[in-house]
Structure 1
Amino acid sequence: MQADIQATTALGCHPLPVLSCLTVQDTRNVYNAEAVDADLVRQQLEYLAADCRIDAVKTGALGNAAVVNAVADFLDQHTLLPLIVDPVIKAAGGGDLADDELLSAMQQRLFARAEVITPNGIELTQLGGFEDQRDSARHLLDGGCQGVLATGGHGIGEFITNTLYRQDQAEKSWQIERVGGEYHGTGCTLAAAIAAGRAAGLSLEDAIEQAQRFVSGAINHALAVGHGQPVPDRGVTWAAQG
């Protein structure tokens, strides 16, 4: 949630955060997680939508299948909103954040509704069922996904390659220089930044390009907050300068 709020704010949007899952975590791992009551999630969404204009929606750790259904029911009433789904399965430190029931609910109710989902390599293999990135992405597209942005932050090599797969369209890839090591919350930051771009009226491809530049800058200014992974600096000051 902190990553989402900081990234969207830095990119000129006003976030309307809805808590869906409470965690016990530090810079090393996630140790416990508990879903917020689905009716509370539903109420948060309903009251915010009644009061504020919403231009895009980004989801992260949803907690359980009941929360997924609450979010999906809300989206069924707001069908024109761009939806970016970060299918959070595991924390970077290895902690589990989704069970099979939650994953099934996301696939059945959110994936087809999303403009793009943003799995990392591990998540893509688990969701798509194939070791080959392209095969997994195509399997998800055949299952109803509109777009799959396969992120390469967990790979190796001099550059991080993120590839967008869409039905009946050519693949498009972007590369940014890889900075060694793991960073806490880069996937959340990327998905939130894409949502911010879409909320501001950018096309999906332009939103992805802007988001990648933002994440690269945040990593280059990463902060040593604890004894684990460095935390990307999503601060407004350097982002405005960049």
Structure 2
Amino acid sequence: MILIILVISAIALLISFVYTSRNSVRLPLTIVFGLLLVGSVVFISKNDNQHYGMVKTTTAKTSKLASVSANKQLNLLLYQSVGSADKHRVYVYKQTASQKKTQHTKASVKVTNHVKTSQNTPKLVTKTTRWTYKSNAMKFWFGIAGNDHELISTNNTFYVNADWAVLSSSQAKAFSKLMKQQQPTLKARAKVYVQNQVKTAMTKDPTMSQAEITKVSKAAAAQYQQNAVKSLLQQVKAND
């Protein structure tokens, strides 16, 4: 509406100043329409530069978070550095384990990303702050500018557990390559580790049933795999 007032006052000012011959009429009209014109310009400028009539509104959205790794022993959150000095990152993630395509945060100066360790279920909390009009009246006057719900900032916080790895895309590739290279060695060592754990358990309890032995074997295999993954991750990060 303010733009309409601006246009009307400009036209009316021109008509009153040029086509009104009587000074007693022209002067008041010129003052009135001149003030309307100047006032419209001032408020339009304040709305554009200072967001006059608007307030910051923040909304929060919580999403599930799942590992992007195909390896069940590795819970992984990926990121890609944008620009130099690793100042900005785009994070790659999934919301469910069954999700085929990954998602990623936007590469924008208005988007900030943080990773925090939590003991709760992994999740992504997205807080979005926008400019919105404080009342319908303000929206009536300035809404034609199309700046309602203009984005100010987006803050993504990834809450992951302590056993999660946060790797760059290059580190993830290096880990995958190292994992394939070490696979035969890891298999052989895992077999020996499981056998030793079973022997230790049977020494403590010679009457163990087959079901108990199987349970110990599975637990030992999982433990060895977890330790092996942790060790390989440390190597990758050290060589990066």
TM-score by length of 2: 0.21
Structure of higher CA gyration radius: 2
More helix by share: 2
TM-score by length of 1: 0.21
